[in-house]
Amino acid sequence: MNLSQKAAAGFNLTPWERSLLKLGQSLLVAFAVAAAPVIADALSSHGAVDWGATLHNALLLGSMAVASMVVKYFKAQGDSPLPTAPTPQPGEIPVGGPGIPPTTTPAAAALTSSDQAA
């Protein structure tokens, strides 16, 4: 399971993992912001891209992304872990599944009758 899957699933992450996620998010934003002038220059009538200014902006935004990662690492040191939800026992789960009440629709009746016939 990779880092983004662990974060999406709600697992507790170490401060280092949380700072890596912050770096990834910040670099995505930095790339989008640095690419915007290139796209604007390419679509304009003069068509000349100022690569020096673009690289300067990309370097500045990349260094800000690394700085935000460092800040996130040190801020995450004092965070408490996420609370864990209790695991339901098999008898506690409703028949239709968690949060799904049993239905009496024609489709459910057809499924039930076909299950009994087999």
Residue 30: per-residue pLDDT? 92
Residue 14: per-residue pLDDT? 87
11 within some domain: yes
87 within some domain: no
84 within some domain: no
12 within some domain: yes
- Does the pTM surpass 0.85? The reply is no
- Which range marks the domain in which residue 66 is found? 3-76
Helices (H) and strands (E) in the chain, counts: 4, 0
Residue 23: per-residue pLDDT? 93
Between CA 84 and CA 81 the distance in angstroms is: 9
Residue 62: per-residue pLDDT? 93
Which parts of the chain register pLDDT below 50?
none
22 within some domain: yes
98 within some domain: no
Label residue 30 exposed, middle or buried (CB < 10 Å: 0-12, 13-18, 19+).
Answer: buried
